[in-house]
């Protein structure tokens, strides 16, 4: 099992450009998440999908959109990138969206917006 995979690993964008971050999991998990990690701030939830066909906003959703393409895949789109979106992005999944569930994380995408 590959677990949670993310592409690309690195990306540099210019302000105003768009891009999509891809995430896939092979653990048959129902719930998937997108986080951003900034120095001194831990991880902040951008969007999550409790199950296939549903998505909800997290703590910092502005400037992002998501698509739960199927049970395996959950993509994050930046329509018009801004320097404030420079960060490391992590995708995660869990079996169910319950309080006790462990989340499994991908290796991350390092995004720089110039």
Partner 1 sequence: AQSVTQLGSHVSVSEGALVLLRCNYSSSVPPYLFWYVQYPNQGLQLLLKYTTGATLVKGINGFEAEFKKSETSFHLTKPSAHMSDAAEYFCAVSEGTGGFKTIFGAGTRLFVKA
Among 1, 2, 42, 53, binds partner 1 (CB under 8 A): 42
Of the pair 42, 53, the CB lying nearest partner 1 is at 42
Binding mask 78-97 toward partner 1 (x if CB under 8 A, else -) reads ------------x-x----x
Cβ nearer to partner 1, comparing 85 with 89: 89
Q: Is 105 in the site for partner 1 (CB under 8 A)?
A: yes
Does 62 participate in binding partner 1 (rule CB under 8 A)? no
> CA-CA distance, 90 to 30, in Å (whole number)?
17
The residue within the footprint of partner 1, chosen from 98, 111, 112, 113 (CB under 8 A), is: 98
Please name the residue that has the structure tokens 């896939």: 24
User: What count of other Cβ atoms lies within 10 Å of the Cβ of residue 14?
Assistant: 9
Exposed e or buried b per residue across 66-99, where buried means at least 16 C-beta atoms within 10 angstroms of its C-beta: bebeebbbbbbebeebeeebbbebbbbbbeebee
Structure tokens at 108: 């991350």
SS3 104: strand
Q: Which of 17, 19, 30, 58: binder of partner 1 (CB under 8 A)?
A: 58
Question: From the list 8, 59, 69, 79, which residue makes contact with partner 1 (rule: CB under 8 A)?
Answer: 59
């Amino acid at each position: 099992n590959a677990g949670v995979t993310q592409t690309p690993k690195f990306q540099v964008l210019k302000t105003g450009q768009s891009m999509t971050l891809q995430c896939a999991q092979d653990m048959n998990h129902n719930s998937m998440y997108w986080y951003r990690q900034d120095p001194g701030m831990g991880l902040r939830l951008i969007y999550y999908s409790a199950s296939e066909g549903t998505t909800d906003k997290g703590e910092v959703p502005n400037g992002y959109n998501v698509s739960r393409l199927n049970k395996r895949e959950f993509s994050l789109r930046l329509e018009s990138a801004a320097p404030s979106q420079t960060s490391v992005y992590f995708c995660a999944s869990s079996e169910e969206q319950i309080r006790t569930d462990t989340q499994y994380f991908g290796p991350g995408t390092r995004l720089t917006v110039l």
